[in-house]
Amino acid sequence: MKNENNNENISEANANSLDYSEKKNNPGKILVIFLGIILVVFVSSGMGAIFGFLASKGGAQFLTNFKKEQSETEIVKQKIIQEDSAVIEVVKKSTPAVVSIVITKDVPKIQNFRRFDNFFNPFEFYFGPEDYYSNEDSGETKKQTIGGGTGFFITPDGMIVTNRHVVDDSSADYTIVANDEKEYPAKVLAIDPNNDIAILKIEGENYPILELGDSDAIQIGQTVIAIGNSLGEFSNTVSRGIISGLQRDLTAGNGLRQTEKLNNIIQTDAAINPGNSGGPLLDINGQVIGINVAIAENAQNIGFAIPIEQVKKNIDQVKKTGKISTPYLGVRYVLIDEYLQKENDLPYNYGALVARGNKITDLAVLPGSPADKAGIVENDIILEIEGKKINSGKEKQDLSEIISQYSAGDEITLKIWHKGDEKNIEVKLAERK
C-alpha cells in the first residue's frame, strides 16, 4: 500500500513538475493572455466612448450629417445613372433612323480624293477633295468614292434630310447606307438655295423616322447628342455634349472657294467631325433640334448646327409639293449700324441700305424682281417688313431672314426711306428660280 501511495505521490509530483516546466518554458502564452486582456479593456472603453458620443447631442448631429452626405452621394450617383440611361435610350431609339451618305463619281484615274465631305467651317479650312496630283489626263475614268455625309429619315417612305453641300455635285451619285448596312441609290429631291439644306429620297417603306423638336425652346447648357458618319468611315458615331451658344452668325467656306453665310445657328461642344454633315443634333428626349453643318478648325469642340425650326418649312413644302419654293425680294443690301450711319451721314442707325456690289454686274436691284416692280431703287433704306424692324444689333433681324419666313406669292408691307421720305409700299414676293 505504501508503495502504491508513494507511486501516486511520485506521479502527482511529476505532473506538477511538468506543468510548471511548461509554464516556465512558454512565457509567450502569458504575454498573449495579458495583451488579450488589455485589448478587451481598450475595445470596451473605446466602444463605450463611441456609444457615449453618439448618444450625445454632438453625436446625433454627426449621424445626421453622415446620413445626409450618404444620401446626397446616392442622389448624385442616381442622377448620373439616370442621365446616362437617358442618353443610351436616345441612341438606341434614334440610331436606326440615321443613315450614311456615300458620294461616288467617275473621275480620271490620275485624280485622287480624300473621303471627306465638303464640311463647312467658319475659318476657311475645309475637308473637301484634295488637289489633283497631276494635270495629265489619260482619258480613262473610274468610279471612286469622293466624299461622305450623314442624313436621317423624316418620312416612312424614304425621305431624308441632309446638308446641301453634301449633295451639291449634280454629276455625282449618292448612295444611302442604312443602319442595317443595306445600300440604296438616292435621288436629290429638293435643294434650298438660301439655306444649307437638301432632301433626298430612296425607294421603300416603313423606314424608322426621327421626331422633330422645337429649337426655339432650347437653352444654353442643356445636353445634346450628335450622331453621324464620322470621317466618312465610322457610321453612327455618337458624341455627347451641351449647347454652348445660340444665334451664332458665321461665314462658312469649303475647299472650292465657295462660301455661305449661316445665321442664327446653334453652337455645341459635342464632337462633330468631317462626315457628320447633315446628321441630327438631338436633345435628351431624342428629338431633332438641329442639323450638324460646320466645325471650327484649330479649335477645341466648336461645332455648329442649323436650328430645326429653319428646316421645318422646307420639309412641309417638299411633302406637299415635292420641291422647295423660296421667296425673294430682289435687292442687294448692307445692314446699317451706327458706324455705317456716321460714315455715310445716313438718317437711321438701323435698316437695310440698298446698294451695289463690287462688280458691275452686282446690281442694287435685280431687274424684273418684286423690289423693282415695287419701285425700290439704289440707296433706298428698307426699315421694316410687316412691322418687324431690320437691324444688326443684339436682337438682330436680317432682311433675308424675315423674307424667308414668307412664301412666294405672299403680299407684304415694307416701310422704306425713299429719296428723303418715309413711306409704306406693298410688294408681292416671287419664287426664286
Centre a 10 Å sphere on the Cβ of residue 214 and count the other Cβ atoms it contains: 13
Q: Which residue has the cell 461665314?
A: 251
What pLDDT, in 10s, does the model give residues 151-193? 999 999 999 999 998 998 888 999 999 988 899 999 999 998 8
Measured in whole angstroms, the distance separating CA 311 from the mean position of its chain's CA atoms is 16
Residue 21's identity, in one-letter code, is S
In this structure, are residues 365 and 354 in contact, taking their beta carbons and an 8 Å threshold?
yes
| Res 309: pLDDT | 93
- Give the pLDDT confidence of 328-378 residue by residue, as tens digits: 899 999 999 889 999 999 999 999 999 998 888 889 999 999 999 999 999
Set of cell numbers at residue 363: 446690281
Question: Would the pLDDT of 136 be above 60?
Answer: no
Q: What is the mean pLDDT of the chain?
A: 79
Q: Are 153 and 206 in contact (CB under 8 A)?
A: no
Cα atoms found within 13 Å of the Cα of residue 123, Cβ hemisphere only: 9
Q: What backbone phi and psi angles, to 5 degrees, belong to 142?
A: -150, 150
Task: Tell me the pLDDT band of 229, cut-offs 50, 70 and 90.
Answer: confident
Q: Model confidence at 145, in pLDDT bands (50, 70, 90)?
A: confident
Identify the helix (H) or strand (E) that includes residue 40.
helix 27-55
Considering only CA atoms, which of 148, 122, 150, 115 is closest in space to residue 295? 122
129 Cβ neighbours under 8 A, 6+ residues apart: 113, 114, 118, 146, 147, 255, 256
Q: pTM of the full predicted structure?
A: 0.68
Residue 386: band (very low, low, confident or very high) from pLDDT cuts 50, 70, 90 = very high
Alpha-carbon distance of 193 to 260, in angstroms, equals 10
27-82 pLDDT, tens digit per residue, is 556 665 656 665 555 555 555 555 555 456 555 565 566 566 666 666 655 655 66
Type of residue numbered 133: Y
For 267-316, what is each residue's pLDDT tens digit? Answer: 999 888 888 889 999 999 999 999 998 887 776 778 899 999 999 989 99
What residues are annotated to the active site? Answer: 165, 196, 277
In angstroms, rounded to a whole number, what is the distance separating the alpha carbons of residues 331 and 371? 7
